[in-house]
Copies of this chain bind each other. A is one copy, B any other.
Amino acid sequence: MTGTMSGRLAVVGSGPGDRRYLTPEADAALASAQALYGYGPYLDRVPERAGQSRYPSDNREEGARAEAALRHAAQGASVAVVSGGDPGVFAMAAAICEAIESGPESWRALDVSFVPGITAMLAVAARIGAPLGHDFCALSLSDNLKPWALVERRLDAAASAGFVIALYNPVSRARPWQFGKAVERLRRHLPQSTPVVFGRAVGRPDERVSVIALDAAAAAKADMATLVIVGTRETRIIARPGRSPLVYTPRAVAEANA
């Protein structure tokens, strides 16, 4: 609160789960901040440091959180906005940019930076092999900010063109039917045996990663902490004696699928 224009704001990706995923750059950005903003559970994973203030908020308040953080930085403070995973993937970076574009001119003069993090699809993929081993896309199933018809059009486009599909936000209390509908849609394009990976709470104590076939996927449990990866015609499962199977998408596309 020095009143100068020396304020700065860093939007920091803390990765999924615990500190094993926190990059040195992200760690340094969090350590040097005077004020931390973020969704409560993400803030809770950042170690407490003397002299640092914390402003937790609800996960549906991204716009208001972005504005509060920018206002604070504009007062001269060093502010960090904590984002789980990567801030640029369905997270706080876009909300900060939106707020800067529509906010007071002075916000454009602020020193704003973005610190990348391990996003959920990379962590889930790493747990089970290499399901994203070929061309892939990342799609949010939330229809809060886009019409459901557009989600379906994108599912059609991605599956029929042979992209692996990482589904973010598959389910929430307010959106109970979207995941089932999406699976139904994907079954128009993909074999019933297509591997589908469910990754829940990766990097946390209650982590659970599993693979099932597309024809059983709709009934499978997904929740707000789940990231789903839907394979292609090419995606393969390697059974291993005494070990969990590996799932991967080969680097080459077979003639028959090209």
**Distance, CA A125 to CA B86, complexed state (A):** 10
Chain B residues positioned under 8 Å from A96 (CB to CB): 130
**Distance, CA A215 to CA B117, complexed state (A):** 32
Chain B residues positioned under 8 Å from A51 (CB to CB): none
Q: Indicate whether A132 sits within 8 Å of B258 (C-beta atoms), given known contacts A117-B118, A160-B157, A246-B97.
A: no
Contact B116 A123, beta carbon cutoff 8 Å: yes
- Among residues of B, the one whose C-beta sits closest to the C-beta of A130 is B93
How many copies the complex holds: the figure is: 2
Residue A236 interfacial (CB < 8 Å): yes
- Among residues of B, the one whose C-beta sits closest to the C-beta of A133 is B94
Residue A47 interfacial (CB < 8 Å): no
Contact B25 A21, beta carbon cutoff 8 Å: yes
Chain B residues positioned under 8 Å from A250 (CB to CB): 94, 97-98
Q: Which of A74-82, A147-155, A175-183, A218-226 contacts B (4 or more CB under 8 A)?
A: A147-155
Q: Indicate whether A23 sits within 8 Å of B25 (C-beta atoms), given known contacts A125-B116, A135-B139.
A: no
The 6 closest A-B pairs by CB, nearest first: A94-B133, A137-B137, A93-B130, A97-B248, A157-B161, A145-B252
- 21 interchain pairs (CB within 8 A)? A15-B23, A20-B24, A23-B23, A88-B125, A94-B130, A94-B250, A97-B236, A97-B238, A97-B248, A98-B250, A108-B239, A108-B241, A109-B243, A116-B118, A135-B139, A137-B158, A146-B252, A146-B258, A149-B258, A150-B253, A157-B163
